[in-house]
Amino acid sequence: MKLACTGNALMDVVAFVDSGLPASLGLVPGSTEHADPGRVERVLAALEDPFSTAGGGAANTARVFVALGGRAAFAGSVGRDGQGRTYARDLAAAGVELELQESDRATGVFCALIDRDGRRSVIVDPGAASALSPDLIPDSFFDPGAVLYADGYLATVPGRLEAVVERARAAGMKVALDLGGHRLATANADLFRDLVARHCDWTFMNEDEFAAFSGLGMEAGLERLSAEARGTLVVKRAEEGAACWVDGRLVESPVRSIRALDDTGAGDAFAAGFLLAALSGAPVERCLRLGNRVAEHAIQVPGMALDRERLRRAADALR
């Protein structure tokens, strides 16, 4: 089983901070803000003992899929800088096969400041991630025996997401798509609906993204949109678990109540667990359960500091 993942290549930086620090750095506590490289650098310089990993949604999914025992490749763009080299080393050490392009822009950064109440203040600079060119991804990445996993953030550059999906479909690949964010789902609703109807075998979204994508409540929306979709729609519901519509019925999978240390990458981890089970031929109930179990582990560690043995045991228990 193999995933061919593509999306924004971002250094994920997580720091546990006093509640007053985000505001002192000009951030709105609890918000997500896109900023220029200089501003992001000033925030990073103010942090004590931050935890850094190679990330971005699709890269996180690739990392977790490998940790669960699968194979994964990642295509993205990094800068010709120290962060870009660190990014490549970290993801390669996790066992992910790399197809990294290089740009004159600085490597992108996703920085989350988490206070004692668990509130996250996020600042992001996509940097070189935005320079990814679908035409420069080698043909070998589009392996007919693999599943393309595409991050909806590719849609921030017009035509880029469509080009990647079309190359995958032309190669005979199945396609999984994560919508990427509420703002993206709102701005690209027509594009996403078309891809879901014609190309996607699995589509992952959280509740906010689903509302933006469908304009409907969850159960009614899932029933209606599933009738129009090529494949399976999966809604990630955070502390309420996950749900999808299969064979004319709503299938829900709850989760245990766990206080999150850091929910960076939780949805990406869910997708990895779900797809590992799905590609093993498991019924959807088991796919949802494994996705939830893997996400539970992801929220209990900083960044993506995963315990592979624990993940493998979870996967084995649910097969």
Question: Using one digit for the tens of pLDDT, what is the confidence trace for 94-115?
Answer: 999 999 999 999 999 999 999 9
Pairing of strands 120-125, 147-151: unpaired
CA nearest neighbour of 302 among 49, 97, 40: 49
> CA geometry: angle at 222 spanning 216 and 227, to 5°?
115
pLDDT at position 318 = 62
What stretches of 82-217 show up as alpha helix (H) in DSSP? 82-93, 160-170, 182-187, 189-198, 207-214
Tally of residues, the chain: 319
Given a cut of 70, whether residue 319 has pLDDT beyond it is: no
Decide which of 3.40.1190.20, 3.40.1350.10, 3.40.50.1820, 1.20.1050.10 is the CATH code for 2-317: 3.40.1190.20
- Taking the C-alpha atoms of residue 260 and residue 256, their distance in angstroms, rounded to an integer, is 11
pLDDT at 316 exceeding the cut of 80: no
**Domain ranges (residues) in the chain:** 2-317
Given pLDDT bands bounded at 50, 70 and 90, which one contains residue 302?
Answer: low
* Neighbouring C-beta atoms of residue 95, cutoff 10 Å: 15
The pTM of this model reads 0.93
Rg value, the chain, Cα: 18
For residues 189 and 166, what is the distance between their CA atoms, to the nearest angstrom?
18
pLDDT in tens, 59-101: 999 999 999 999 999 999 999 999 999 999 999 999 999 999 9
CA distances (Å), origin 234, targets 29, 34, 250, 287, 314: 30, 27, 11, 10, 20
Contact 177, 152 (CB under 8 A): yes
Around Cβ 98, how many Cβ atoms within 10 Å? 18
- Taking only the tens place, the pLDDT of each residue in 4-57 is 999 999 999 999 999 999 999 999 998 999 999 999 999 999 999 899 999 999
Is 308 a residue whose pLDDT tops 90? no
Cα dihedral sign, 296-302-304-309: negative
Q: What are phi and psi of 232, to 5 degrees?
A: -95, 130
